[in-house]
Amino acid sequence: MINHKLLTILVLTVVLLVGVIYYANNRPDVQYETKTPNTQTGQTATQADDDTDVINSEIENVDLGDIDREFQAIDSDINSL
């Protein structure tokens, strides 16, 4: 007669195999988009400088509010621990 350990291992192996096959057949197909580099001819270095200047001016115009006051509130919370 077949050993009970061997039978248990055989049953678990079959169940595992069926599970793997089921998972492989039922997972959604994933389609990956291939990205091609966007090459533009005729760009000059001055356009890059203009873009950088625009970005820098926008960064300088960002309103950060009163950061010191916000940090003081955080510091007081930390010190109260």
pTM above 0.75, yes or no: no
Residue 33 within any structural domain of the chain: no
Number of domains in the chain: 1
Distance CA 69, CA 65 (A): 9
Residue 18 within any structural domain of the chain: yes
Residue 21 within any structural domain of the chain: yes
Distance CA 42, CA 50 (A): 15
Number of residues that this document lists for the chain = 81
Band of pLDDT at residue 1, cut at 50, 70 and 90: low
Residue 15 within any structural domain of the chain: yes
**In sequence order, what are the residues at sequence separation of 6 or more whose Cβ sits closer than 8 angstroms to the Cβ of residue 56?**
none
Residue where the block lists tokens 């057949």: 25
Q: State pLDDT tens for residues 10-22.
A: 999 999 999 999 9
Q: What domain range includes position 23? A: 1-27
Q: State pLDDT tens for residues 48-73.
A: 567 888 888 888 888 878 888 888 88
Rg (CA), the chain: 32
Residue 7 within any structural domain of the chain: yes
Residue 42 within any structural domain of the chain: no
Residue 16 within any structural domain of the chain: yes
Residue 51 within any structural domain of the chain: no
